[in-house]
Amino acid sequence: MNKIYSPKSETWSEILKRPTKTIDDIETTVKEIFKEVQKKGDEAVSKYTSIFDGIILEDYEVSQDEIVEAIALISDELKDAIQLAKSNIYKFHLAQKTERISVETTEGVNCWQEKRPIQKIGLYIPGGTAPLFSTVLMLAVPAAIAGSKEIVLCSPPDKNGKINPAILYAANLCGVTKIIKAGGIQAIAGMTFGTQSIPKVYKIFGPGNQFVTVAKQLATQYGVAIDMPAGPSELLVVADDSAVPAFVASDLLSQAEHGTDSQVILVSTSKELIDAVESEIQSQIAVLPRKAIAEKAIANSKLIYVENDAVALQLINEYGPEHFIICTNNDDFYVDGIYNAGSVFIGNYTPESAGDYASGTNHTLPTNGYAKNYSGVNLDSFMKSMTFQKITEKGILNIGKAIEVMAVAEGLQAHKNAVTLRLAQIEARE
């Protein structure tokens, strides 16, 4: 890892740069595939599934028989773990429900806000070397709580035309209504436009590689909303001598093994801790099954020494990490002062992987600095706030004159007339 000592603030943006490709490198490919899927539907999806996944499929939808087969393949131990995780995720997201907010702003003017579910939800679940069945729980559980009527899941098939059985088990457990064997750009395009096999949805959720991220961003140009521009995973740990070096190293590696473009950073006020963590990383990485992936990610990562907590916090807010672990003697300082982070983990016994799987919080989080202006996925991500109002005769008398004056000032005579006619009718009856 790259060790950096007491960097000046004017160098932070360069030091903290993410190891990602520019959109220009990817956008042309994404646009070409989108146009083809829009024009040719399943034919284009089949073409790119053959190219990228090495399989030609006759039917994209997962059958009930395949789901039953998948359930039988899952060990009872894994089923119990998934069910525990689902229970905690359900509890945390159910607690986010809010009641109708109702206010009489002026006598006779009643306004209220209610939330309604987004009816058609699309979930993208990566497959490949790390099939993220945990992401199914993170997305399908709150979608079901919100009351979404259609929950469509797309995930790439393997060389045998199958989706990982744990993904199918979790999808079935959480109420997904349709499961499609399609991945990558073609899956996002399919959910954007709709094809013969892939339903069109109103909002797309889920992580993916940079091609999927750009595809999701392109989908917004066609009237489809997305959760956020979620790219490669990242983690920043702030730690001092109170932290356990082995724990810190394990947390850094837990994110490094996600992908070669993942980034992990340690910020510390202790040079001794930095050296100890570096040593632990070297020993722990040697036995990881995904060692080659983790090593490449570690090459893009940083060990940063700063003089004090105040400087550390300023640097961290500048970076805006997706995941932020705090292991210090001054935890409250960081908890109270952090503004830009997707999800925060506090103390030596709160590993980031707890949030990835089973504590109950959502692991679909903003990356690439988007924690400065995006929230992670939550129950409201699957809902829309709608406002309502009902005005009585007394109410329109109370605010009517103000409306007329404001409408005239903006040069909108018809707006004024809509009030004037009503006021005239009331006055005529009196």
Binding residues: 124, 186, 209, 233, 255, 258, 323, 356, 410, 415
- Separation of alpha carbons 292 and 311, rounded Å: 34
Query: Contact, 258 vs 294, CB < 8 A?
Result: no
393 is known as an active-site residue: no
Half-sphere exposure of 342 (CA within 13 A, CB side): 27
- Separation of alpha carbons 330 and 345, rounded Å: 14
Binding residues for substrate: 233, 255, 258, 323, 356, 410, 415
- Separation of alpha carbons 285 and 249, rounded Å: 9
Binding residues for Zn(2+): 255, 258, 356, 415
Binding residues for NAD(+): 124, 186, 209
Instruction: Determine the Cα angle at 270 with ends 240 and 250, to 5°.
Output: 55
Place of tokens 């595939």: 33
Q: Residue 326: which H helix or E strand, with range?
A: strand 323-327
Number of H helices, E strands in the chain: 17, 14
Residue ranges with strand state E in 159-247: 178-181, 203-205, 225-226, 234-239
Query: Contact, 271 vs 277, CB < 8 A?
Result: no
Sequence-distant (≥ 6) Cβ neighbours of residue 277 within 8 angstroms: 239, 245, 248, 249, 252, 266, 268, 303
- Separation of alpha carbons 290 and 384, rounded Å: 40
The size of the chain, in residues, is: 430
Query: Contact, 286 vs 252, CB < 8 A?
Result: no
DSSP character at residue 1:
-
Sequence-distant (≥ 6) Cβ neighbours of residue 117 within 8 angstroms: 146, 147, 148, 149, 382, 383, 384
Which is nearest to 258 in space by CA: 409, 132, 107?
132
- Separation of alpha carbons 40 and 34, rounded Å: 10
Q: Which of 36, 257, 323, 352 is catalytic?
A: 323
Residues 390-422 as b or e (16 or more Cβ within 10 Å = b): ebeeebbbbbbeebbeebeeeeeeeebeebbee
Q: Which of 280, 322, 352, 363 is catalytic?
A: 322
DSSP character at residue 368:
T
- Separation of alpha carbons 145 and 156, rounded Å: 26
404 is known as an active-site residue: no
Residues designated as active site: 322-323
